[in-house]
Amino acid sequence: MSRRAKRQATELVPAHLYGLRRGTTPVLTALCLLFAIFVLAPLVWLLINATKNQAYVYGSFGFWFAGPFRLFQNIAALGQDISGAGIFVDWLRNTLVYAVLGAVGATILSALAGYGFARFRFRGANALFFLVMATLLVPITSLALPLFLVYAKVGLVNSIWGMILPSTVSVVGIYLMRTYIEASVPQDLIEAARMDGASELRIFLRIAMPLSVPGLVTVLLITVVAVWNNYFLPLIIFSKNSLYPLTVGLSSVSAAAESGTKADLVPVLITGGLVTVLPLIALFLLLERYFRAGALQGSLTG
Partner 1 sequence: MTHHSTVGSTEKVRARRRGSRKLLAVAIAAIAIAALGACSTGGAAPAKTVAHGCGHGATNLTFWGWPAGYNLAVSEFNKTHPDTCVKLENAGASTAEYVKLSDAIKAGSGAPDVATIEYFELPSFEITHSLVDLSKYGVSSVKTNEAPVAWSQVTQGSAQYAMPVDLGPLALFYNAKEFKDNGLTVPTTWSDFATAAATLHAKNPKLGMTNFDPESTQDVLALMQEYNAFPFTYTGGSTIGINFTGTAEMAFANYWQGLISKQLVTTAGDFSPQQWANLDSGANAARLSPAWGPVGMQLSIKNTIGNWVTAQMPQTTAGGQLSGNWGGSSLAVVAGTKHAKQAAEFVKWFGGSADAWKILSGPVAGAFPAYVPLLNDSTFQARTLKITGTTTPNTVFAQAAQHMVDPQWPPIMTAAATQWTSTFAGVTKGTETLPQAFTTYQAQLVAYAKAQGFTVTTN
86-to-102, 231, 259, 263 alpha-carbon distances in Å: 23, 16, 16, 14
Q: Considering only CA atoms, which of 78, 236, 19 is closest in space to residue 144?
A: 236
Q: How far is the CB of 95 from partner 1 (least distance, A)?
A: 9
Using an 8 Å Cβ cutoff, are 63 and 235 in contact? no
Amino acid at 31: L
Q: Which is nearer to partner 1, 31 or 221 (CB)?
A: 221
Decide if residue 280 touches partner 1 (CB under 8 A).
no
Decide if residue 157 touches partner 1 (CB under 8 A).
yes
Q: How many CB atoms lie within 10 A of CB 145?
A: 10
Decide if residue 240 touches partner 1 (CB under 8 A).
yes
Measured CA to CA, the distance from residue 80 to residue 287 in angstroms comes to 33
Which residues, 244 to 263, sit near partner 1 by CB under 8 A?
Answer: 248, 251-252, 255-256, 258-263
Which residues, 170 to 209, sit near partner 1 by CB under 8 A?
Answer: 182-189
Helix H or strand E encompassing 211: none
Using an 8 Å Cβ cutoff, are 147 and 210 in contact? no
Decide if residue 287 touches partner 1 (CB under 8 A).
yes
Q: Which is nearer to partner 1, 236 or 275 (CB)?
A: 236
Size of the site for partner 1 (CB under 8 A): 68
Q: How far apart are the first and last CA of the chain?
A: 41
Q: Which is nearer to partner 1, 56 or 129 (CB)?
A: 56
57-to-52, 62, 192, 244 alpha-carbon distances in Å: 6, 7, 65, 27
Number of Cα atoms under 13 Å in the Cβ half of residue 86: 26
Q: Which is nearer to partner 1, 15 or 96 (CB)?
A: 96
Decide if residue 298 touches partner 1 (CB under 8 A).
no
Decide if residue 59 touches partner 1 (CB under 8 A).
yes
Helix (H, G, I), strand (E, B) or coil at 60: coil
Question: For partner 1, which residue of 217, 222, 268, 275 counts as binding (CB under 8 A)?
Answer: 217
Decide if residue 242 touches partner 1 (CB under 8 A).
yes
Decide if residue 269 touches partner 1 (CB under 8 A).
no
Q: Which is nearer to partner 1, 243 or 275 (CB)?
A: 243
Q: Where do the H-state alpha helices sit in 50-158?
A: 54-59, 71-77, 88-119, 125-134, 144-154
Measured CA to CA, the distance from residue 76 to residue 70 in angstroms comes to 10
Contact partners, residue 23, CB within 8 Å, separation at least 6? none
Among 4-12, 36-44, 70-78, 239-247, which window interacts with partner 1 (CB under 8 A)? Answer: 239-247
Mask: binding to partner 1, 80-119, rule CB under 8 A, as x and -? -x-xxxx---x--xx-xx--xx--x---------------
Footprint of partner 1 (CB under 8 A): 53-59, 67, 81, 83-86, 90, 93-94, 96-97, 100-101, 104, 144-145, 148-149, 152-153, 157-158, 160, 182-189, 210-211, 213-214, 216-217, 235-236, 239-243, 248, 251-252, 255-256, 258-264, 266, 286-287, 290, 301
